[in-house]
Structure formats: C-alpha cells, structure tokens
Structure 1
Amino acid sequence: MKQILMIGGLALLAATALLLAYASTRPDEFRVERKLRIAASSDKLWPLIGELRAFNRWNPYERKDPAIKGRYSGAATGPGSRYEWESDKVGVGSLEITGQQPGQAVQMRLDFVKPFEAHNQAEFRLVPQGDGSTDVIWSMQGPANLISKVMGVFINMDKMVGRDFEDGLVNLQHIAKE
C-alpha cells in the first residue's frame, strides 16, 4: 500500500511539473478583441462609449448581475472618470478612463480585485465606414502571470471573454437603434 501511495504521489508530482513547464511556455501577455459593424454613425455611438454611465447601459458584465453595487467618481467624462463595482457574480474591481480621442477611441484601465487580481488595458475604437455604419472594436490586453497561464491550459480566455465582448457589442447595437 505504501508503495502504491508513493508511486501515485510521484506521478502527481511529475504531472504537476509537466503542467507548470508547459504553462510557462505560453505567452506572457494576452489579448482579446472583437468587432461588430453597427448601422450608426460614430457620432451617435461615441456618447455610449466615451462616458462610463452610458457604457454601463450596455456593458455585458453589468447586465450579468442586477444587484451589482457600483460607484462613480472622478471626472464625469474623459480621463479620470472612474467606476468601481462589487458583485457576487462578476467580482470586485474598477474601470478608469485613461485616454480619449473623441469620436474615435477610448482607453481604460481595468483592475480586478476578486475573484483574482488582474490589471489590464481595454480600448474601444470607432472606425466609420462609407455607408454610414461604424466598426466598433473592443479589445483588452494584459500580462499573463503563471496562474493565468495554467488556467489558460484548461480555459480558453479568448472564447470566454470574447463571448462577453460579442454580447456587449450586440447590446450596444440595440441601444444605438433607440
């Protein structure tokens, strides 16, 4: 029995070492990006993206938890505009506008505290099209530490977060029709 436990323990140790070795070869940064062409001008879409209160009308993470506790601070719009949230479903964190090119792009710092700590950058870009529609591009990128690399072996972050981005862009599309 003792020998079986020792062999099992060594096998578990070897599997863990192989997992860590494989995970350490994964990229040190991640990037998720989704795009949707919306039948609206960039002028119509900009207020829904460039201001956090309007953004939260279509933000898929806000919609996941109607009981979310959020608080706005800083500037009403533009760099320094900040939103903090606490939720049992989407965790605890904050979002701050760090840069804007009105009508074209907004950059945000996204900090998660729970369920795990992460510090990422998000960006929305608006690319007007000749037919009056606009390509809206939502991206997020950040560092991938060893824990996130190990998680990435089992969970496809691009698919998981990408689905949320796709849902959010569809929500934006619906609001833009109002």
Structure 2
Amino acid sequence: MKILKKILIVLVVIIALPLIVALFVKKDYTVQKEIVINKPKQEVFDYIKYLKNQDNYSKWNSIDPYMKKSYSGTDGTVGFVARWESDNDEVGWGEQEIKAINEGERLDFELRFLKPFEATEPAFMTTESIAYNQTKVTWGFNGHMNYPTNIWLLFMDFEKMIGDDLQSGLSKLKIELEK
C-alpha cells in the first residue's frame, strides 16, 4: 500500500508540475524581421498591400506551388480575403484577411489557420523611409497560446521557426522589387 501511495504522489507531481510552471510562462509571442529595399517607400507599399503579390515572395507560397487558392473582395483593400488549401502540412489550409491599411505606412492582416491546426493570429507589414530611394520593410507576426499549452513556449523557438521564413520572404521581396 505504501508503494502505491508513493507512485500516486509521484504521478500527481509529474502532472501538476508542468501545469504550475505554465501559470508563470508568457502566453504571447512576437516575431518580426526587417530588410532595407532600394526603392521609394510608396512604391514598396503599393506592392506589399496586394496580398496576391505574396505569391512572388512568401516562403509559404513557394512550399506548395500547386495549392488551391481563392479570393474574395478587392485586393489591396480592407476586407480582402486570400484562401489557400494544401495537402502539405507545412502550408495546410487557411486564409488571411486585410484588416486595416494605414496608407503608405502599415498593412494589418489576420491569419486564420484551419488545417492541420486551428489558430487565428494577427500579422502586419510596415514601411519606413530610410532615404528617398530606401525603404525599411518590417514583417511581423503575433501569436498567443492559451494556458496550459503555453508551456510549449519554453521549448519552441518561434523566432527561429517563423522568423527564418519571414526573413526568407523579405529577401525574395527585395530581389523582386529591385530587379
């Protein structure tokens, strides 16, 4: 009986410890990357505000060139939605919607992932003039993990996972706009 009691206590500790730790782990994370493009700010913004142009630079669009895409609304305006469906789990199914545009400055969109997992996360792109012919573009992604799944933030490096893909996309964007 004493051994059974000790095993039960150990199991309770094993289960309770991560739940207790998760109480003190942040629930939100932000990843953002930037690049300087040798083009005027308005020209850069006029390109990135069209979600269809992401086909030319987004890492995720290049992973599955055969994904099904559909659109609703007018691209480059608030309310435009771009949907995708891919059998590749790295891409999955989802959509993004333009939520706000601060003309020439900032594009806010919402990513809604449907498969292989469900999540809704805000993302953004900004442009900042460095010089007449130089624009800093920042691409950012905000995420949230509810308790107790936020414990995974201790083990997952979102800066690496998402940041590398954002930086890859920004590098392609630079090549695309400077050619």
Band of TM-score, shorter chain: 0.7 to 0.9
Q: Deviations for 1:86-118, whole angstroms, at most 9, x for unmatched residues?
A: 124311111000111222111101111122221
Instruction: Look up the equivalent residue of 1:158 and give its one-letter code.
Output: E
| Greater mean deviation of Cα atoms: 157-166 or 24-33 | 24-33
Q: 1:11 to 1:90 in 2, by over 3 A?
A: farther
Deviation per CA, 1:141-160: give whole Å up to 9, x if none. 13321354132222111221
Range 30-39 or range 148-157, more displaced: 148-157
Task: Identify the residue that residue 93 of structure 2 maps to in structure 1.
Answer: 92
Work out whether 1:59 is the aligned partner of 2:71. no
Corresponding letter in the other structure for 1:52: L
- Give the structure 2 partner of residue 163 of structure 1: 164
Q: Distance in 2 between matches of 1:24 and 1:168?
A: 35
Give the superposition deviation at 1:76. Answer: 2.8
Secondary structure class of the residue paired with 2:142:
strand
Question: Secondary structure of 2:177's partner?
Answer: helix
Residue 101 of structure 1 is matched in structure 2 by 102
Question: How many angstroms does 1:3 deviate by?
Answer: 8.9
Q: What's 2:40 paired with?
A: 41
Residues 147-162 of structure 1 aligned to structure 2 (within 5 Å): 148-162=149-163
Q: Secondary structure at the match of 1:44?
A: helix
Q: How does 1:122-137 map to 2 (within 5 A)?
A: 122-130=123-131, 132-137=133-138
Look up the equivalent residue of 1:81 and give its one-letter code. F
SS of the counterpart of 2:131? coil
SS in 2 for 1:89: coil
The answer to whether the Cα contact below 8 Å between 1:80 and 1:97 also exists between their aligned partners in 2 is: yes
Aligned to 1:14: 13
In 2, the alpha carbon distance for the partners of 1:126 and 1:93 equals 26
Percent identity, please. 28
Match of 1:28 in 2: 27
Amino acid at match of 1:66: P
Alignment-mate amino acid for residue 23 of structure 2: S
CA distance in 1, matches of 2:91, 2:154: 22
Counterpart contact for 1:47–1:54, Cα < 8 Å: no
Q: TM-score, normalised by structure 1?
A: 0.87
Q: Distance in 1 between matches of 2:85 and 2:3?
A: 47
Q: Does 1:175 align with 2:176?
A: yes
Q: 2-side partners of 1:125 and 1:118: how far apart?
A: 23
Report the CA distance between 1:38 and its aligned residue: 1.6
5+ residue gaps in structure 2?
none
Give the gaps of 5 or more residues in structure 1: none
Report the aligned-residue RMSD: 2.2
Runs of at least 4 residues off by over 3 Å: 2-13
Q: Could you list the per-position Cα deviations for residues 115-135 of structure 1 after superposition, in whole angstroms to 9, with x for gaps in the alignment? A: 222111111000011252111
The structure-2 alpha-carbon separation of the partners of 1:7 and 1:124, relative to structure 1 and needing over 3 Å to count, comes to same
Q: 1:113 — aligned with what?
A: 114
